[in-house]
Amino acid sequence: MTVFLASRVNALDKKGRVSVPALFRNEMAAMARQTVVVYAAPEGGYLYGWAYDDFVNLANHIQKMPPLSPARQRLARTILAAARPLGFDDTGRIMLPADLIAEAGLDGKALFAGQGEYFTIWNPERFNKQIKADADFMEEDLAALSALWPTS
Q: What is the pLDDT of residue 46?
A: 98
**Cβ-contact 31, 50 below 8 angstroms:** no
What is the chain's length?
Answer: 152
- Its CATH architecture, for the domain 7-125, is 3-Layer(aba) Sandwich (3.40)
Query: In the prediction, which pLDDT does 36 show?
Result: 97
* pLDDT at residue 54, as a whole number: 95
The angle subtended at Cα 150 by Cα 134 and Cα 62, nearest 5°, is: 60
User: Could you say which residues of the chain have pLDDT below 50?
Assistant: none
What is the rounded CA–CA span in Å between residue 52 and residue 32?
A: 9
The pLDDT score that the predictor gives to residue 152 is 64
Characterise 36 by phi-psi region: left (phi > 0), alpha (psi -120 to 50), beta (else): beta
**pTM for this predicted structure:** 0.92
